[in-house]
Amino acid sequence: MVVIAICGTPGTGKSELAKLFGKNGFCVIHLSRFVIENMLYQGYDKRRGAYIIDEERLVGKLKDILSKYKDVVIEGVGAEAIPSKLVDICIVLTCEPFMLERRLTERGFPYEKIQENLEAERFGIILGEAISNYGRSKVMVFDTTYTSIEELYRVVVDELRRRGIKIRNTP
């Protein structure tokens, strides 16, 4: 049984990577949708652009899910701030700003939003928050600039295995 958080600046590939975990037997939770649908929030943090999670209710809901599914991936904005005791390992995805700009432009993000995200990526904001929340030993960092999602998945699974976390049904 393993709970993995996937975080990173928008466009780093969290959802794409999570999909591959989903294809391999993981229950995938898209954090913001999950929190909204189950009303697991206490308020909204405008600065982070994410809901402030109600820890107790999230624990309850996650326990429900873990009783049905063995392995869970929680991905999305805010995954860097989940109560650490709920998460076994945190994956932080990064991307060189020039490539991130390309990806976000292709997705039709407005100019301001792109600049904001590029700046966050340059300063390693999400990575810093993940390390301060989970502690360095629980955090694994992967650069996605030149790596396809499939290759990234293989590298991540290899690294998880090295840490003694088994992933079933891996291609």
Ligand X SMILES: Nc1ncnc2c1ncn2[C@@H]1O[C@H](COP(=O)(O)OP(=O)(O)OP(=O)(O)O)[C@@H](O)[C@H]1O
With respect to ligand X, which residue has the nearer C-beta, 42 or 148?
148
Binding residue for Mg ion, selected from 15, 38, 84, 170, defined by CB under 5 A = 15
With respect to Mg ion, which residue has the nearer C-beta, 31 or 160?
31
> Which residues are at the interface with ligand X (CB under 6 A)?
8, 10-16, 77, 103, 107, 144, 147-149, 152
Smallest gap from Cβ 76 to Mg ion, in A, equals 6
With respect to ligand X, which residue has the nearer C-beta, 56 or 150?
150
Residue 13: contacted member of Mg ion, ligand X, none (CB under 5 to 8 Å, by partner type): ligand X
Distance CA 157, CA 95 (A): 19
With respect to Mg ion, which residue has the nearer C-beta, 3 or 104?
104
Residue at shortest CB range from ligand X: 13
Smallest gap from Cβ 87 to ligand X, in A, equals 18
Smallest gap from Cβ 24 to ligand X, in A, equals 16
Distance CA 32, CA 50 (A): 7
Distance CA 95, CA 101 (A): 10
Q: Tell me if 32 contacts Mg ion by CB under 5 A.
A: no
b/e map of 72-95 (b: 16 or more CB within 10 Å)?
bbbbbbbbbbbeeebbbbbbbbbb
Which segment (12-20, 50-58, 114-122, 155-163) binds Mg ion by CB under 5 A? 12-20
Residues in contact with Mg ion by CB under 5 A are 14-15
